[in-house]
Amino acid sequence: MAQKSFQGDVIPGKQVDIRMWTKANEVEGQAMQQLQNIAALPWVFKHVAVMPDVHYGKGATVGSVIAMQGAVSPAAVGVDIGCGMTAVRTSLRANDLPDDLRALRSGIEKVVPVGFGMHRDIAFGDQDASDWDSFWSGFDNLTEAVKAETKRALLQMGTLGGGNHFLEVCLDEDDRVWLMLHSGSRGIGNLLAQHHISVARGLAHNTELPDPDLAVFLAQTPEMAAYRHDLYWAQDYARRNRSVMMRLACTVLAKQFPQVTFEEPISCHHNYVAEETHFGAELLVTRKGAIRAGQGDLGIIPGSMGTGSYIVRGLGNPDSFCSASHGAGRRMSRNQARKRFTAKDLAEQTAGVECRKDSGVVDEIPAAYKDINKVIANQADLVEVVAKLRQIICIKG
């Protein structure tokens, strides 16, 4: 498929330009200032790539792709290291499902802890991967700051968390049933991120930065080596966490529908670092609220809990460092959403979806997010749509 022409804006920055797959006048002032701060860093390569779901975040903007030479900023990854998506298409069709979906939702909620919940016993094993022993042996080599969290890390493997994390049952336009979920590295990833962000802020070369939260580690230093070691372990934890949850959810479907089969999962991080080559340079590419969209890469771009999601295939656009958006992106903060909307509003906006409709998740109301269809349209030169999904069950913490 031929790439469509770029429709966004290019904004000059102090060191590099800011290339945006949206219009600059649609980006809130705080986020634009963050992007200017990023573009002023001396290690940023070529330009900052800004996805159409861009919005303000801690330190670095959500929806930003930052390629650096010889440096990496832990705040440009975020505190939920390895957060991402996994989706599986099943052999079921809409007419295989009961009219009342409460029992199916309840069954999934019983096996996948949400919010601050965790498993009572270890929930993973050989059915998820064959190298669990070697993976967990790496825990002993993580920073001392997390050594007391062994039990929590074990029991949170295969759990959803809260906030914008979710597990859904969806239908595509052919009425095929999908399972889809969004989660990351849970408490252990957060602790590792907070530790390394704190270490970076204390390094001498970061004292004159426009924003202390953009502190970086430099190549060939022990601090960089320690961060990359812990980072890659946490990214693997996140991938495994999603794999375990997906297996648990598939088990629930298999019990209720013994004839069901499952296709190979699609999985992608959207808060992570990757070592990649772009424009002939070896770089550390940070995607915070962005997925890799190399030529042929399958990815997942979710909307809100009432507006549907997309399965996409990357077009390998070099100007985005082969990236695309990670979702719809927030159009207002959680506090703003709580003040503006009620549980009644949430119920109206999620009509037809089996999900929580109480005040505890009003901050996740669809109106708090950007229009997912417009977000997809703005990146027609980054991805092509493979499938459009609409959720019929949405589970949140």
The response to whether 55 counts as a known ligand-binding position is no
The response to whether 229 counts as a known ligand-binding position is no
The response to whether 165 counts as a known ligand-binding position is yes
The response to whether 123 counts as a known ligand-binding position is no
The response to whether 276 counts as a known ligand-binding position is no
Residues 6+ apart with CB under 8 A from 94: 171, 175, 177
The answer to whether the CB of 86 falls within 8 A of the CB of 242 is yes
The response to whether 149 counts as a known ligand-binding position is no
The response to whether 225 counts as a known ligand-binding position is no
Listed in order, strand segments (DSSP E) in the chain are 9-11, 17-20, 47-55, 62-68, 71-72, 84-93, 166-172, 176-183, 217-218, 266-269, 271-278, 281-288, 290-292, 298-302, 309-314, 323-325, 354-355, 383-396
Residues 6+ apart with CB under 8 A from 36: 11, 13, 14, 18, 210
The response to whether 278 counts as a known ligand-binding position is no
The response to whether 158 counts as a known ligand-binding position is no
Q: Is residue 81 classed as helix, strand or coil in its secondary structure? A: coil
Residues 6+ apart with CB under 8 A from 327: 53, 270, 289, 301, 302, 303, 369, 372, 375
Q: Is 326 a catalytic residue?
A: yes
The response to whether 167 counts as a known ligand-binding position is yes
The response to whether 271 counts as a known ligand-binding position is yes
The catalytically annotated residue of 55, 195, 269, 326 is 326
The response to whether 309 counts as a known ligand-binding position is yes
The answer to whether the CB of 151 falls within 8 A of the CB of 188 is no
The answer to whether the CB of 105 falls within 8 A of the CB of 357 is no
Active site residues: 326
Residue list for the binding site for Mn(2+): 80, 165, 182, 270
Residue list for the binding site for GMP: 164-168, 270-271, 302-305, 309, 326-329, 396
Residue list for the binding site: 80, 164-168, 182, 270-271, 302-305, 309, 326-329, 396
